[in-house]
Amino acid sequence: MPRRHGPALLTALVAGTAALAAIVALAGSLLFSGGGAKQVGTESVARTPAAPAHSTGVWIGTWAGAPTAGVADTSTDDDLTQRIIRNVVHTSIGGDAARITLSNLFGTHPLLVDRATVNTRPVSFRGTPSVTIPAGGQIVSDPVVVPVAPDADLVVSLRTPTADGPVTVHPNSHQTSYVADGRGTWRSNLWRYLTAVDVRNKAAAGAIVAIGDSLTAGTGSTLDADSRWPDVLSDRLRGRYAVVNQGIAGNRILRDGQGYGQMYGQRAIARFDRDVLGVADVKTVIIALGINDVQQFPKERDPQRIADALRAMTERAHARGLHVVGATLMPFEGSLAWTPAEDAVRRQVNALIRAGGIFDEVVDFDRVVRDPYRPSRLLPEFDCGDHLHLNDNGYLRLGQQVDLQTLHGNRPASDQL
């Protein structure tokens, strides 16, 4: 696996805490009043893949973090003013320019962002350096000419001088980001407001989107190691396709999240258009969902309902000309929620998936991580310890299991991997 570039960047961010705090304190007297900020209405999530006329490349999603909920921001003890948010994200492909998507989807008040940068390069929104995003809205920035490296950490900084929660977030990122004010800098495992980064790229064939739950988001993986299975898949593709991870811990297909603050996100059938079809230049989707419908309360007892919902998402992808790969559900005996009845539902869902008629292709995650002597549980070498999620070795195995030849569908031979 390629050597990751994250640790050096994170060290530099921590080293710059004192300087950043001083800058923020000085900036407090210079904050925009909001009168010059442009009010932006709710925009369609889908972004045109076409690049500007003078470019030879197209816009492709290199990273995304699906918004899950609006939460009170507890990064500081005081109010939310004079904050700088430093979202650290990991790219799949690179490019010669970038654009970002900011979301106030779960906010109840307008959100003023009076300064944004990508790797320190200033970002504008319809020609202005500041933007006000209404509650429930989002905005795609203007292109910013900045070199974006593949398989590397990227820092998107935002200043929100008058933020009034709730904050639209993606939790459990398994990546260290930062929030700073005049007193210092705090580590965070949330991505705040930032939901997508697109790059202008003339070499990649498009984006592959993985929509899933915690097993796609990477629960159990090492912090800042970028060892989730979509990261492994991206390494194998070597820039031929972008890989966008739209996994949400706890996510279900048929019901909205039931966790604290609904942090498990909207049901997959409700977020599919936004988080899959809305990704710039998406070509293929990998669906790895269903285990939380089986094991979370209220539990889904009918495997056919899960299979039908998976088929419905495939049909929506087909209507957009996308190729669909689906994953079987992995075992979880030994976890707190496991019972023989739930395992029977899981096995029936897998039988329906393997029988065909749901996806264009199947990647059999269950087969490669289960214990052959006890198929209802994970192999110990892949178990992170909770008997439901995987460790880095387990996610490596999943990423290696995806057949690269199944990802391109019926495209011309020249576009095949």
If pLDDT is split at 50, 70 and 90, which confidence band does 42 have?
Answer: very low
Report pLDDT for 173: 96
Report pLDDT for 408: 79
Whether the full predicted model's pTM is greater than 0.75, yes or no, is yes
Please give the average per-residue pLDDT across 234-245, as a whole number.
98
Report pLDDT for 56: 56
In whole angstroms, what is the distance from residue 55 CA to residue 177 CA?
Answer: 32
Pairing relationship of beta strands 111-113 and 131-133 according to DSSP bridges: antiparallel
Q: Which residues contact 193 (CB under 8 A, 6 or more apart)?
A: 85, 87, 102, 103, 104, 111, 113, 158, 160, 167, 168, 169
By the 10 Å C-beta count (0-12 exposed, 13-18 middle, 19+ buried), 276 is classed as: buried
Q: Tens digit of pLDDT for each residue in 53-109?
A: 345 579 999 999 999 988 776 554 444 445 899 999 999 999 999 999 999 999 999
Please give the average per-residue pLDDT across 226-244, as a whole number.
98
* Residue (of 305, 70, 37) closest to 162 by Cα position: 37
If one counts every other C-beta atom within 10 angstroms of the C-beta of residue 111, the result is 26
Query: Average pLDDT, whole number, for the chain?
Result: 86
CB 390 within 8 A of CB 220: yes
Q: Tens digit of pLDDT for each residue in 157-193?
A: 999 987 777 899 999 999 999 999 878 899 999 999 9
